Amino acid sequence: MNANQGAFSTLYAVTEDLNITASSNKYVYIGPDGKDEMNGFPPPAFVAPYVNDELVGKKLWEYVEKETGIKFSFE
């Protein structure tokens, strides 16, 4: 892949109909299809099962706030 192809994943993600709605609770990662997903063309890539786990997300968010010292408020 050359430098001119660097935006392929982003362009694919914003232009393809991935059949995802905000309420579907399905997350898609668009990334390269080469070895270890480090290069190649952009199909939907592997998404680990814990991506949809709300408890994991909550723990990660709490960890980030603790480590950065920044508390985010979404009220």
What pLDDT is recorded for position 21? 54
Higher pLDDT, 51 or 28: 51
Tokens 């991506």 correspond to: 51
Say if CB 43 and CB 33 are below 8 A apart: yes
Q: Which of 2-6, 16-20, 45-49 reaches the highest mean pLDDT?
A: 45-49
Q: What is the mean pLDDT of residues 61-70?
A: 94
Measured in whole angstroms, how far is the alpha carbon of residue 36 from the centre of its chain?
Answer: 16
At residue 51 the predicted structure's pLDDT band, cuts being 50, 70 and 90, is confident
Specify the pTM.
0.48
Q: How far apart are CA 17 and CA 57, in angstroms?
A: 26
Higher pLDDT, 32 or 19: 32
- Supply the DSSP string of 8-21, one letter for each residue: HHHHHHHHS-----
Q: Which two tokens stand for residue 5?
A: 């192809």
